[in-house]
Structure 1
Amino acid sequence: MKCALVTGGSRGIGRAICQKLAVELGYHILINYQGNEEAARETQSLVQEAGGTAEILRFDVREGGDVRAALERWSDANAEAIVEVIVNNAGVAKDGLFMWMSAEDWSTVLQVSLNGFYNVTNFFIQKLLRQRYGRIINIVSVSGMKGTAGQVNYSAAKAGVVGATKALALEVAKRNITVNAVAPGFIRTEMTEQMDEKELAKLIPANRFGEADEVADLVCFLASQKSGYITGEVINVNGGIYS
């Protein structure tokens, strides 16, 4: 059984990625979630209704012990399974001007994106090296590429993952493992529901928000064998917002 793990897979971009990887590439999907089991179950149902297979895995990507315990339990129970694809999608935003930013808001955002990348990817990396195949895809953000006022923590966290993507890609390329990042701009999800889409669209050359499926399509390509000579890349899906 060939599997793909998607962290933060219960909603939004994560949900779209789960569906695409199951239907288009035939992976058994491990849907990670932290708190919203109902949403995770809904994603599982959507995958199954489309003809794919999936299961849910609860762990907090910030907590190394929690991640390791959950993944070891799963690995022990599925000894024949092979995880080929890891999508580090879990993220959280705690926006606000830096001068009023609490230490907790700073720490939480960095822990989810940066520690989450480490905790999940580090668990699997030796397995990927031994099997001489893997696809690691990190979901970053336009904020990590150019910086966004009011998102110093989020910009720092995502920029950190960009650096990690480029460095890890160099370490594992000889073993047929690619490591790439996808940087969405304004995508229509629950995270952007409170934004003034009509006003913000004026700043976007494409003049609209993107759809989660448009991000998932790129992730699906990077997770496929077609992308074997692409590694260490950060690909923007942002409708033309670069500065």
Structure 2
Amino acid sequence: MIPKHNKNAIVTGVSSHQGIGAAICRKLASQNFNIFFTYWDAVPHWEKEFSKEISETGVVCKGLEIDLSNVQSTEKVLEFAALEVGEPMILVNNAAHSTRDGYLEFNAKTLDAHYAVNMRAVFLLCTEFAKRFPEWKLPYGRIINMTSGQELGQMPGELAYASTKAAITAFTRSLSTEIAHLGITVNAINPGPTDSAWMNEEIRNHLLPRFPVGRIGQPDDAANLAAFLAGKDSRWITGQVIHSEGGFIRG
């Protein structure tokens, strides 16, 4: 058994009660993980309300408002997490930057904004986590990166988002080999279209026929998989991109 005070997790990109990040926090808290989450551009008092909700389950929960596009954010996240809740066993990279573009609107500013959050922040958090991990002397480590299935089909009108998120797949696979000896697994989750804060009724009606199971993915679907990958029973799974989409039909 791992002492409760040593079960600590970082989840980035938790800025809405309805999002995948919030669902992952709730699920990990139900498994006695203390939660350190990051958020950005959230509604007023978001952090206090969400921290209170999670803390009422009996774990420690702290949030940090931080712009992950800032190159200095990586060290700050890890240092604050260790200080506020304890040295983390779990790192979930859920934060993402996404705007519509297409080739006519595509430019350096758009690409750089996506790169800073979707690639640089993720890659630096992963590698800095791995560098510090031996000092923490924890029984195991888990890195879980969120992607969006870019290699499964085209995403017209989202060139910057698709390309920068797709890079996470290659990074996940290569990093998993490099740090396996540390006792850290590295995997990615593609949850498919998920009915979180970004969907409206028009989008739901458009997507629903593409789900043969008869419903659209929910944040809890992604959270359940993340919680499994965060646990000791997933120790033989690393370097994988798991497409958990409920049979979503593209095209």
Helix, strand or coil for the counterpart of 1:190?
coil
How far the C-alpha of 1:136 sits from its partner, in A, is: 0.2
Report what 1:156 is aligned to: 163
1:14 paired with 2:44, answer: no
Give the deviation of 1:70 after TM superposition.
4.8
- Name 2:234's counterpart in structure 1: 227
Name the one with the larger helix percent.
1
Counterpart contact for 1:144–1:154, Cα < 8 Å: no
Distance, in Å, in 2 between the alignment partners of 1:57 and 1:239 is 33
Preserved CA contact (<8 Å) 2:145 2:188: yes
Counterpart Cα distance in 2 of 1:229 and 1:43: 33
Q: 2:127 aligns with which of 122, 128, 143?
A: 122
1:97 to 102, 115, 127: 102
Query: Is the CA contact (8 Å cut-off) linking 1:144 and 1:157 kept in structure 2?
Result: no
Query: SS at 1:98's partner residue?
Result: coil
Asked whether 1:57 is paired with 2:67, we answer no
Structure 1 residues 163 and 242, CA gap change in structure 2 (3 angstroms): farther
Query: Quick one: which of 76, 93, 108 aligns to 1:88?
Result: 93
Q: CA offsets per residue over residues 51-100 of structure 1, 9 Å max, x none?
A: 3320012222222213323533554x46x922100000001211132222
**SS of corresponding position for 1:199:** helix
Q: Which runs of 5+ in 2 are unaligned?
A: none
Aligned to 1:4: 9
Q: Percent identity?
A: 29
Kindly tell me the number of residue pairs found equivalent between the two proteins: 240
Give the conservation status (yes or no) of the 8 Å contact 2:20–2:222: yes
Which is richer in strand?
1
Alignment of 1:203-242 (within 5 A): 203-241=210-248
Runs of 4+ in structure 1 over 4 Å off:
none
What is residue 36 of structure 2 aligned with on the other side?
30
Asked if the contact 2:144/2:186 (under 8 Å) is kept, the reply is yes
In 2, are the aligned partners of 1:185 and 1:237 still within 8 Å (CA)?
Answer: yes
Q: Distance in 1 between matches of 2:106 and 2:134?
A: 40
The secondary structure found in structure 1 opposite 2:89 is strand
Shift of 1:115: 1.0
1:62-211 to structure 2, matched below 5 A, reads 62-73=69-80, 75=82, 77=83, 81-130=86-135, 131=137, 133-193=140-200, 196-211=203-218
Distance 1:186-1:195 versus aligned 2 partners, 3 A rule: farther
Q: Displacement, 1:34?
A: 2.2
Q: Which amino acid aligns with 2:63?
A: I
**Cα deviation code 1:146-167 (max 9, x no counterpart):** 3312122111111101111000
1:63 and 1:119 in contact (8 A); partners too: no
Whole-Å separation in 2 of the counterparts to 1:74 and 1:181? 22
2:28 maps to amino acid: L
What is the distance in 1 between the residues matched to 2:161 and 2:151? 7
Unmatched runs of 5 consecutive residues or more in structure 1: none
Structure 1 residues 165, 202: CA separation in 2 closer, same or farther (over 3 Å shift)?
same
